[in-house]
Structure 1
Amino acid sequence: MVAITVPDNYGAVIAVALGAIPVLGFIHGNITGSLRKGAKVPYPHSYASIEQCKENAKAEQFNCAQRAHANYLENMSQTIIFTLVAGLKYPQLAAGLGAAWVAFRTIFLYGYVYSGKAQGKGRLYGSAFWLAQGALWGLTVFGVAKELISW
């Protein structure tokens, strides 16, 4: 049997990993869904065509929202896991990095969808989420390695 002891302040880690990160996913989905009708992209199509984007600025905005959401989904699960695992050893740092990731992902979403910059280049304002995600990965590896060495 393996016992996992969580630190006293692990609640903040759970709040970020299982609260704030999934809530941001819900927001992504709502924004993308709300832009679909104006973009005139019927289900089951995921994106507007290049021709549709040339004719309708809302189609380009929908594509930006859809891509921001897809990128979010590509990174969300590993960030949740990194936050939860790193938080076992470093709860305050993991919660802080997870919260920074959520903040930068929010800026990324806003910049991608609402900045009005061509090709969604406003997303670059929030691209520092990569730093927070990398730091969470590093903290996870460091914490796990430290545990393995102490066995």
Structure 2
Amino acid sequence: MPSFDLPAEYGYVILAAASTFFLNTAHSVNTGIYRKAANVDYPAAYAPESNKSPEAQRFNCAQRAHANYIENQVSFVPALLIAGTKFPLTSAVMGLCWSVSRYTYMVGYSSGGEGGKGRYKMGGLYFWLFQFGLMGMAAYNGVSMVMGW
């Protein structure tokens, strides 16, 4: 089994990963605020289709933004941690940029306008660049270990 030493800069990678935990909390608070404004009781995950109010639309968008975040966080964090073993500073910067982009996605999507297209208004689309970049770097790390590079 190969062994390796983590670079001293790996702490930045861990901090970037930790930022995603706090962002998840921000999503929860954001969704709760919109849930209350839309008067949607638990355990309903979304406002009913019969509720056509702007508040219900914003709540549904906030809830979907949170779900999308959770769907992507589960593959992003391991990619960040793996990529950071060889590229700690690049990975940490990409991780921080991912978190910022996911925050803008949340704020834009929660605005509820334009059929959910608000998620891209403030730069929320850019998280894909950072996520796929880190996934590629993680895969490169695996190939380089197998090939002995």
Task: Give the TM-score taking structure 2 as reference length.
Answer: 0.93
- The number of aligned residues is 147
2:119 to 112, 119, 123: 123
Partners of 2:144 and 2:2 in 1: CA distance: 17
The residue aligned with 2:26 is 27
Deviation string 1:50-78 (CA, Å, 9 cap, x unpaired) is 221x1x21111000000000000000121
The residue aligned with 2:47 is 48
Q: Which runs of 4+ in 1 moved over 3 A?
A: 1-4
Partners of 2:20 and 2:96 in 1: CA distance: 8
**Distance apart, 1:8 and its partner CA:** 1.1
**Distance apart, 1:144 and its partner CA:** 1.2
Partners of 1:111 and 1:94 in 2: CA distance: 25
1:60 to 57, 62, 67: 57
SS of the residue aligned with 2:85? helix
The residue aligned with 1:71 is 68
Deviation string 1:36-57 (CA, Å, 9 cap, x unpaired) is 12212111110012221x1x21
Deviation string 1:109-151 (CA, Å, 9 cap, x unpaired) is 111013x522221102311111110001001001111111008
Task: Give the TM-score taking structure 1 as reference length.
Answer: 0.91
Partners of 1:26 and 1:62 in 2: CA distance: 16
Structure 2: stretches of 5+ with no match in the other structure? none
SS of the residue aligned with 2:64? helix
- Structure 1 vs Structure 2: percent identity of aligned residues? 39
Partners of 2:134 and 2:31 in 1: CA distance: 28
Which amino acid in the other structure matches residue 86 of structure 2? K
Partners of 1:44 and 1:4 in 2: CA distance: 47
